[in-house]
């Protein structure tokens, strides 16, 4: 009887703590909700908002036609992935009757939390231990980097949710491979890959891992269900990219993958990769996660090893971004959260033999560490205030004569001006970072005069808002200040008149 | 707990490699001036050691011996200058002052502490535990930087580990000889840096209570001997310091119990743990402590941890601001990790894919070690301070070595100026002090004039303070000529 009561209390306490972790993680992601989304990779976040705004105005019959047309022209950006999240945000704008940019922040926070719930459920399946799964969940929901990156207005946070859902379904299929489960795995994998095609690395390698662990080489190769899962996962994205984005996909692969593949031969690339992981999650957690992968039961080991392999392949295919873009590492949080669980289970089993006071004490310490991590994230979010930026960029937009064509040296490739200032540069002048990227991609030696002539040809004005970058490019500074009059010297921006020569 | 069985060959080989790696990474960039880690603290010791060296007849380069003695004597005595005496004696033997000699001593002490740590880990965490503890203790990047610093902390930490090892040996077989050695080692640790008394007392109490219980311990003469040996040296030093020296002054501005009610205190402390040993290793170590078998080691480590908590509360300001106050945490976390790691390894070696598990284990430890070494190497490589001595000597010449004429802002309280230039400057108030002063808010120029009265030179050698006091920099730039500038400072002439 006492055992039954103890088991009942333990079960409810566990679910209470799961609920608290999810709620606390979600709540912290809403801190400073209405601050403009310039805290984390603004180019990427503003891109989402620019596309969502255009989609909303397109849906809204009451919208001013000129505004609708302008928003659509501003949203004609490079195509990356299908604008599913942007459309979802636009639908909510439509329901609300106004553009509320932080809707996307709430959505992504919610998606991450759902991902957390399924990570817990999957972790419990992998380890057979709810308390160990709670450890993985705490990591996933409270890591400071995760808090900041997972509320960002871009597809990655919900991509991670779809990956976790896919992994959960895949494990269930591995346990009992029915057609119904296979279709579910395929559909979830397909959605993940459609949300962002790079999910294919994780989906493919995890599928291979689980299929090999449960069926073996021969049976997996001959299994119709495996092929159906693979087909369902690939079909939607293949249709989108090959039929709708064929040329663009080829250019993207040519530049970002082929041209930059030389980085794989540089030792610095691997050092930078590790430095990036260290700064985001810490390296100890990776080491424990790898040990956890080895500790998992065969099916779970296949799944986790597959996810790790996916993370590795993703980095080898996109080496430049892995060194520079933190959000490329967001799926790692799910991989780590899951991999920690078998390791935690091994320790939890040993701790069961210790007196209750030890277990409670350690629980309190872990809770404090989680609180610390959330508090650090909250402080980071509150420390930065971008409230004045929209008005500043509106002023920049207004300072540029209507209908003029201009080239801009500006942060975020002109995204702030495009979103807040309702103006799009006809061309953007390269930053030092762009030149370095081009060099790494094997571009010919830089010729300033040729670049200046080409980019300013037919332009009316040259807008400079990245003043630090302007100072770092003396050739450009001289070419503008010596040859063209300074039309406007605003607060934090300069406009040179390219039509007039000194 | 019985004496451990013979160590396997693979472990011996691994330990040799790990100790060699720990030694070599610490020897990298050996001759770079000690500005890489808490320069104020290291140059304090360097100035003291040079004073002693000059006093004993050593030839000081670039500075009058009398001046070197005066500067050495003007340094506050916080703890007995053991490291400084050792350094000065070795300078005499070497025939010149070489700042890398105390660095070598710190490294040597840390490595010797590593041997005691390995002996402790073997007692409770098996072969893999020894390896994990040694890897953490010797290769942790923060530990690498901190354990080559010219300050008492590496010696103190090594003595604490040795003390715990000797206490555990006494717990295993309580002889008078073992009690004597344990008491001496723990007493030496407390003498090296007395702030560690709480941790030492915790480890001691844990071990003796585990061995004897409270009543038995009180009746045991060996316990009293150890307690006396632990307490006597530090009591004697304090008696001398309080009656004949200025130790009393050193005890002011150290205790801030009001911070206990400030949530920021706990967060700063946690951040400091995170920045030194890492939160996850710390949490894993606590799990490991729980997994250790009952006995002298577990009791000693729990006492150590309890003592660390008391130490943190007593030095509430320092625990959140001075990272080297976390140094005693490194061996504790190393041993806790050994126990947790051993539990994981035991489990790993029972999984169905044993070969894969061994591969993952070896690969993980190897990759972790390589990364840690690479990080330490990068930190040491990136910090190059070889140009600083000449720059500070140039400043000394520019101000004619006149301490009374110099004020300024310094990131090390003027320690490098004292050491290299022989100039003991007056430190200008910090941004927080200026902000809290109404006179400064009312009329900064008048405040500045009052604070710099009689001074001829103002040195700006603290970028962080300069950024926090833009009004000061504006005032200097707009009012006084810049007479000397270097990568490490700018000197303004306040008066001819």
Quote the pLDDT of residue A91: 97
Distance from CA of B84 to the nearest CA of A (A): 36
Check CB contact under 8 Å for A271 and B374. Answer: yes
CA distances from B294 to A350, B220, B228 (A): 14, 21, 27
Quote the pLDDT of residue B62: 82
Distance from CA of B368 to the nearest CA of A (A): 7
Check CB contact under 8 Å for A351 and B290. Answer: yes
Query: Are A306 and A210 within 8 A, CB to CB?
Result: yes
DSSP class per residue in A126-147: HHS-HHHHHHHHHHHHH-HHHH
Q: What is the pairing mode between strands A486-490 and B406-410?
A: unpaired
Query: Are B190 and B157 within 8 A, CB to CB?
Result: no
Partner-chain residue, chosen from A291, A365, A376, that has the shortest CB–CB distance to B361: A291
**Confidence tier at B4 by pLDDT (50, 70, 90):** low
Check CB contact under 8 Å for A295 and B353. Answer: no
From chain B, pick out residues whose CB is under 8 angstroms from the CB of A368. Answer: 266, 270
Check CB contact under 8 Å for A369 and B352. Answer: no
Among candidate residues A24, A85, A65, A122, the one with its CA nearest the CA of residue A375: A24
Side-chain half-sphere CA neighbours of B116 within 13 A: 24
Q: What is the pairing mode between strands B426-427 and A493-497?
A: unpaired
Compute CA B367 distance to the chain's CA centroid, rounded to the nearest angstrom: 27
Distance from CA of A287 to the nearest CA of B (A): 6
Q: In terms of C-beta density within 10 A (0-12 exposed, 13-18 middle, 19 or more buried), how is residue A114 classed? A: middle
Check CB contact under 8 Å for A294 and B360. Answer: yes
Interface test with B, best of A287, A297, A309, A383 (most B CBs within 10 A): A287
Distance from CA of A391 to the nearest CA of B (A): 28
Dist. CA B225–CA B182, nearest whole Å: 10
Dist. CA B330–CA B140, nearest whole Å: 9
Check CB contact under 8 Å for A274 and B344. Answer: no
Q: How many CB pairs under 8 A join A and B?
A: 85
Q: Is the pLDDT of residue B110 over 90?
A: yes
Quote the pLDDT of residue B248: 65
Output the six-digit token pair for B122.
């073997």
Check CB contact under 8 Å for A347 and B287. Answer: yes
Helices (H), B292-427: 296-314, 318-321, 329-348, 354-382, 388-398, 415-416
Output the six-digit token pair for B127.
């072969």
Place of tokens 């930490």: B157
Partner-chain residue, chosen from A283, A294, A376, that has the shortest CB–CB distance to B368: A283
Dist. CA A119–CA A287, nearest whole Å: 20
Dist. CA A189–CA A236, nearest whole Å: 10
Output the six-digit token pair for B304.
């150590």
Dist. CA A361–CA B289, nearest whole Å: 12
Q: Which residue of A has its CA nearest to B290?
A: A358
Instruction: Count other Cβ atoms within 10 Å, centred on residue A387.
Output: 10
From chain B, pick out residues whose CB is under 8 angstroms from the CB of A295. Answer: 344, 347-348, 351, 357
Quote the pLDDT of residue B249: 65
B83 three-class SS: helix
CA distances from B50 to B92, B343, B391, B421 (A): 10, 49, 20, 13
B483 three-class SS: strand
Query: Are A109 and A156 within 8 A, CB to CB?
Result: no
Query: Are A424 and A417 within 8 A, CB to CB?
Result: yes
Among candidate residues A124, A125, A126, A132, the one with its CA nearest the CA of residue A346: A132
Compute CA B411 distance to the chain's CA centroid, rounded to the nearest angstrom: 18
- Reading chain A (502 residues) residue by residue, the pLDDT tens digits are 778 887 888 889 999 999 999 999 999 999 999 999 999 999 999 999 999 999 999 999 999 999 999 999 999 887 778 999 999 999 999 999 999 999 999 999 999 999 999 999 999 999 999 999 999 999 999 999 999 999 999 999 999 999 999 999 999 999 999 999 999 999 999 999 999 999 999 999 999 999 999 999 999 999 999 999 999 999 988 888 877 766 666 677 777 777 777 888 888 888 889 889 988 998 889 999 999 999 999 999 999 999 999 999 999 999 888 888 999 999 999 999 999 999 999 999 888 888 888 888 888 989 988 999 999 999 999 998 999 999 999 999 999 988 899 999 998 888 999 999 999 999 999 988 888 877 777 777 788 888 899 899 889 999 999 998 899 999 999 999 999 999 888 888 999 999 888 7
Among candidate residues A329, A17, A382, A342, the one with its CA nearest the CA of residue A146: A329
From chain B, pick out residues whose CB is under 8 angstroms from the CB of A369. Answer: 270, 279, 283
Note the pLDDT tens digit of each residue in B461-495: 999 999 999 999 999 999 999 999 988 899 999 99
Q: What is the pairing mode between strands B490-493 and B406-410?
A: unpaired
Query: Are A126 and A296 within 8 A, CB to CB?
Result: yes
Output the six-digit token pair for B447.
């405040």
Q: Which residue of B has its CA nearest to A369?
A: B279
Query: Are A153 and A43 within 8 A, CB to CB?
Result: no
From chain B, pick out residues whose CB is under 8 angstroms from the CB of A350. Answer: 291, 343
Output the six-digit token pair for A338.
């899951």
Among candidate residues B165, B166, B187, the one with its CA nearest the CA of residue B80: B187
Query: Are A155 and A194 within 8 A, CB to CB?
Result: no
Residues 291-310 of A with CB under 8 A from B: 291, 293-295, 298, 301
Check CB contact under 8 Å for A372 and B270. Answer: yes
B201 three-class SS: helix
Interface test with B, best of A347, A348, A355, A371 (most B CBs within 10 A): A347
SS (H, E, C) A425-489: CCEECCCHHHHHHHHHCCCCCCCHHHHHHHHHCCCCEEEECCHHHHHCCHHHHHHHHHHCCEEEE
CB contact A274 to B (< 8 Å): yes
DSSP class per residue in A285-311: HHHHHHHHHHHS-HHHHHHHHHHHHHH
Phi and psi torsions of B409, nearest 5°: -110, 130
**Confidence tier at B388 by pLDDT (50, 70, 90):** very high
Check CB contact under 8 Å for B343 and A346. Answer: yes
Dist. CA B156–CA B480, nearest whole Å: 47
CA distances from A309 to A16, A89, A290, A314, B367 (A): 34, 33, 11, 8, 17
A247 three-class SS: helix
Q: How far apart are the first and last CA of chain B?
A: 75
**Confidence tier at B253 by pLDDT (50, 70, 90):** low
Q: Which helix (H) or strand (E) holds A407?
A: strand A406-409
Distance from CA of B343 to the nearest CA of A (A): 7
Q: In terms of C-beta density within 10 A (0-12 exposed, 13-18 middle, 19 or more buried), how is residue B31 classed? A: exposed
Query: Are A314 and A328 within 8 A, CB to CB?
Result: yes
Q: Which residue of B has its CA nearest to A355?
A: B290
Note the pLDDT tens digit of each residue in B75-91: 888 789 999 999 999 99
Q: Considering only residues A8 and B281, tell me which one the structure prediction assigns the higher pLDDT.
A: B281
Q: Which residue of A has its CA nearest to B374?
A: A271
Per-residue exposure over A197-220, b if at least 16 CB sit within 10 Å of its own CB, e if not:
bbbbbbbbbbbbbbbbbbbeeeeb
Check CB contact under 8 Å for A294 and B290. Answer: no
Q: Can you state the angle between helices B296-314 and B197-219, rounded to 10 degrees?
A: 130
CB contact A365 to B (< 8 Å): yes
Among candidate residues A332, A347, A345, A254, the one with its CA nearest the CA of residue A296: A345
Query: Are A388 and A381 within 8 A, CB to CB?
Result: no
Per-residue exposure over A299-332, b if at least 16 CB sit within 10 Å of its own CB, e if not:
bbbbbbbbbbbbbebbbbbbbbbbbeebbbbbbb
CA distances from B216 to B166, B224, B307 (A): 20, 11, 22
Check CB contact under 8 Å for A372 and B271. Answer: yes
Quote the pLDDT of residue B323: 94
Quote the pLDDT of residue A241: 82
Q: Is the pLDDT of residue B297 over 80?
A: yes
CB contact A364 to B (< 8 Å): no
DSSP class per residue in A110-123: HHHHHHHHHHHHHH
Residues on chain B bordering chain A, Cβ-to-Cβ distance under 8 angstroms:
266-267, 270-271, 274, 278-281, 283-284, 286-287, 290-291, 340, 343-344, 347-348, 351-353, 356-357, 360-361, 363-365, 367-368, 371, 374-375
The DSSP code for A198 is: T
Query: Are B128 and B82 within 8 A, CB to CB?
Result: no
Distance from CA of B262 to the nearest CA of A (A): 14
* Total-model pTM: 0.85
CB contact A214 to B (< 8 Å): no
Dist. CA A159–CA A331, nearest whole Å: 8
Quote the pLDDT of residue B206: 93
């Amino acid at each position: 009887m006492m055992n039954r009561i103890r088991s009942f209390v333990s079960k409810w306490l566990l679910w209470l703590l799961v609920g608290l972790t999810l709620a606390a993680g979600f709540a912290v992601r809403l801190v400073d909700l209405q601050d403009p989304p310039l805290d984390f990779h603004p180019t990427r976040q503003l891109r989402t908002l620019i596309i969502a705004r255009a989609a909303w105005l397109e849906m809204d019959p009451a919208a001013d036609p000129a505004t609708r047309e302008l928003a659509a022209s501003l949203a004609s950006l490079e195509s990356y992935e299908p604008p599913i999240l942007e459309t979802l945000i636009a639908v909510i704008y439509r329901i609300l009757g106004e553009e509320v940019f932080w809707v996307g922040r709430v959505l992504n926070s919610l998606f991450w939390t759902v991902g957390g719930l399924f990570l817990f459920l999957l972790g419990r399946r992998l380890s057979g231990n709810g308390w160990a799964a709670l450890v993985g969940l705490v990591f996933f929901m409270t890591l400071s980097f995760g808090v900041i990156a997972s509320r960002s207005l871009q597809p990655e946070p919900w991509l991670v949710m779809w990956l976790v859902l896919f992994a959960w379904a895949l494990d269930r299929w591995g346990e009992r491979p029915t057609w119904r489960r296979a279709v579910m795995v395929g559909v979830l994998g397909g959605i993940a890959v459609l949300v962002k095609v790079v999910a294919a690395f994780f989906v493919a390698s995890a599928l291979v891992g689980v299929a090999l662990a449960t069926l073996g080489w021969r049976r997996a190769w001959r299994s119709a269900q495996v092929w159906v899962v693979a087909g369902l996962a690939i079909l939607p994205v293949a249709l989108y990219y090959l039929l709708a984005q064929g040329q663009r996909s080829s250019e993207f692969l040519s530049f970002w993958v082929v041209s930059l593949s030389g980085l794989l031969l540089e030792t610095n690339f691997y050092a930078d990769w590790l430095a990036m992981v260290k700064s985001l999650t810490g390296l100890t957690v990776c080491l424990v996660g790898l040990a956890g992968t080895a500790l998992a039961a065969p099916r779970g080991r296949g799944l986790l090893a597959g996810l790790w392999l996916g993370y590795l392949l993703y980095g080898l295919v996109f080496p430049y971004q892995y060194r520079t873009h933190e959000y490329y590492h967001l799926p790692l949080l799910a991989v780590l959260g899951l991999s920690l669980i078998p390791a935690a289970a091994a320790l939890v089993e040993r701790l069961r033999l210790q007196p209750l006071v030890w277990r409670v004490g350690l629980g309190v310490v872990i809770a404090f560490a989680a609180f610390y991590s959330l508090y650090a994230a909250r402080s980071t979010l509150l420390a930065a205030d971008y409230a004045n930026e929209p008005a500043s960029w509106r002023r920049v937009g207004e300072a540029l004569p209507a209908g003029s064509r201009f080239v801009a040296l500006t942060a975020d490739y002109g995204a702030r001006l495009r979103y807040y200032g309702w103006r799009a540069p006809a061309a953007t002048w390269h930053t030092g970072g762009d030149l370095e990227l081009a060099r790494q991609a094997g571009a010919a030696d830089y010729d300033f005069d040729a670049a200046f002539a080409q980019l300013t040809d037919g332009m009316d004005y040259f807008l400079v808002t990245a003043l630090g970058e302007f100072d770092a490019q003396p050739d450009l500074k001289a070419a503008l200040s010596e040859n063209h009059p300074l039309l406007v010297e605003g607060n934090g921006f300069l406009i040179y008149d390219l039509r007039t020569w000194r | 707990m019985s004496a451990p069985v013979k160590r396997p060959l693979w472990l011996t080989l691994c330990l040799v490699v790990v100790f060699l790696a720990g030694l070599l990474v610490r020897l990298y960039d050996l001759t770079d001036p000690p500005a890489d880690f808490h320069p104020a603290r290291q140059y304090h010791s360097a100035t003291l050691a040079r004073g002693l060296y000059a006093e004993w007849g050593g030839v000081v380069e670039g500075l009058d011996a009398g001046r070197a003695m005066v500067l050495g004597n003007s340094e506050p005595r916080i703890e007995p200058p053991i490291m400084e005496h050792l350094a000065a004696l070795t300078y005499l033997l070497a025939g010149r002052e070489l700042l890398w000699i105390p660095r070598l001593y710190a490294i040597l002490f840390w490595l010797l502490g590593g041997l005691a740590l390995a002996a402790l880990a073997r007692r409770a965490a098996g072969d893999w535990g020894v390896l994990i503890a040694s890897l953490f203790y010797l290769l942790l990047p923060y530990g690498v930087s901190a354990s080559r610093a010219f300050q008492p902390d590496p010696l103190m930490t090594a003595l604490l580990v040795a003390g715990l090892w000797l206490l555990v040996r006494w717990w295993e077989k309580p002889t008078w000889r073992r009690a004597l050695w344990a008491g001496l080692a723990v007493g030496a640790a407390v003498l090296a840096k007395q702030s560690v008394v709480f941790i030492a007392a915790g480890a001691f109490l844990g071990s003796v209570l585990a061995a004897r219980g409270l009543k038995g311990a009180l009746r045991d003469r060996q316990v009293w001997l150890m307690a006396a040996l632990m307490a006597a040296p530090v009591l004697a030093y304090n008696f001398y310091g309080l009656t004949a020296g200025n130790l009393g002054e050193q005890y002011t501005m150290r205790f801030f119990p009001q911070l206990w009610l400030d949530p920021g205190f706990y967060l700063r402390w946690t951040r400091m743990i995170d920045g030194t040993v890492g939160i996850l290793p710390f949490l894993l170590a606590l799990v490991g402590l729980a997994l250790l078998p009952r006995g002298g080691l577990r009791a000693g480590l729990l006492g150590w941890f309890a003592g660390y908590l008391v130490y943190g509360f007593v030095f509430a300001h320092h625990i959140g601001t001075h990272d080297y106050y976390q140094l005693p945490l490194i061996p504790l976390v190393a041993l806790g990790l050994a126990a947790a790691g051993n539990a994981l390894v035991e489990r790993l070696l029972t999984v169905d894919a044993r070969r894969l598990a061994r591969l993952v284990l070896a690969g993980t430890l190897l990759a972790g070690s390589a990364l840690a070494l690479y990080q330490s190497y990068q930190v040491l490589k990136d910090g190059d301070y070889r140009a600083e001595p000449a720059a500070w000597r140039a400043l000394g010449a520019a101000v004619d070595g006149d301490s009374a004429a110099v004020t300024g802002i310094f990131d090390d309280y003027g320690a490098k100026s004292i050491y290299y230039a022989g100039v003991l400057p007056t430190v200008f108030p910090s941004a927080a002090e200026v902000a809290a002063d109404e006179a400064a808010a009312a009329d900064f120029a008048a405040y500045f004039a009052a604070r710099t009265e009689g001074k001829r030179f103002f040195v700006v050698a603290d970028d962080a303070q300069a950024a926090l006091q833009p009004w000061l920099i504006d005032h200097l730039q707009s009012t006084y000529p810049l007479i000397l500038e270097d990568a490490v400072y700018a000197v303004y002439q306040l008066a001819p």
